[in-house]
Amino acid sequence: MVFWQIFSVAGLIFLILEMLVPAMFFLNLALAAVATAAISLVVGGFVKLITIFVMLSILFIVLLRPFLLKTKPSESTGIEGKYIGKTAKVTETVTPNSGTISIYDERWEARSNEEIPEGSTVKITGNDNLIMFVEKV
């Protein structure tokens, strides 16, 4: 098989992988494979071409990936619309280090700058992963 065909097929496979797993990683490898396919029309030797592919892959990852990640739309977890700004009941006293709240019959870890006793109503002001930040209403 001719080298340009091998790298063209590899580029196509990497492009399909990027569509299935949108991580902005396989796109860099696809670009490197296509560029290596074009270079293989001039340069011979499989070892040389593999070296060129690896170097181009590293170059594309270092130079293009940060740019591609900036243009990628941010993924929202949905917490902002469903929980932030809503009121909840304190089920265990909330302190800066511990506590829980209940909202929509769900139990969430909660933190606050002040101590908020059990049974109080709080407003959810933000979150960090699965921990809600609250303030007394």
Q: What is the CATH number of the domain that holds 90?
A: 2.40.50.140
**Same domain (yes/no): 67, 83:** no
Number of domains in the chain: 2
Looking at residues 65-81, what average pLDDT do you find?
65
**Same domain (yes/no): 64, 114:** no
N-terminal to C-terminal alpha carbon distance within the chain = 72
- Give the domain-ending residue among 19, 46, 71: 71
Can you say how many angstroms the Cα of residue 124 is from the centroid of all Cα atoms in its chain? 25
CA–CA distance, 66 with 134 (Å, rounded to integer): 34
pTM for the structure as a whole: 0.52
- The alpha carbons of the chain give a radius of gyration, in whole angstroms, of 26
Beta bridge partners of 133: 111, 126
Comparing 12-16, 20-24, 26-30, 100-104, the range with the smallest average pLDDT is: 20-24
Q: Where in 65-105 does DSSP place strands (E)?
A: 87-92, 100-103
Give me the domain span that covers residue 125.
79-136
**Same domain (yes/no): 11, 49:** yes
DSSP 8-state secondary structure symbol assigned to residue 73: P
C-beta neighbour count of 107 within 10 angstroms: 11
**Same domain (yes/no): 129, 95:** yes
**Same domain (yes/no): 67, 84:** no
Q: Which residue has the tokens 């991580």?
A: 23
**Same domain (yes/no): 131, 90:** yes
**Same domain (yes/no): 64, 113:** no
Write the pLDDT tens digit of every residue in 87-112. Answer: 999 999 999 999 999 999 899 999 99
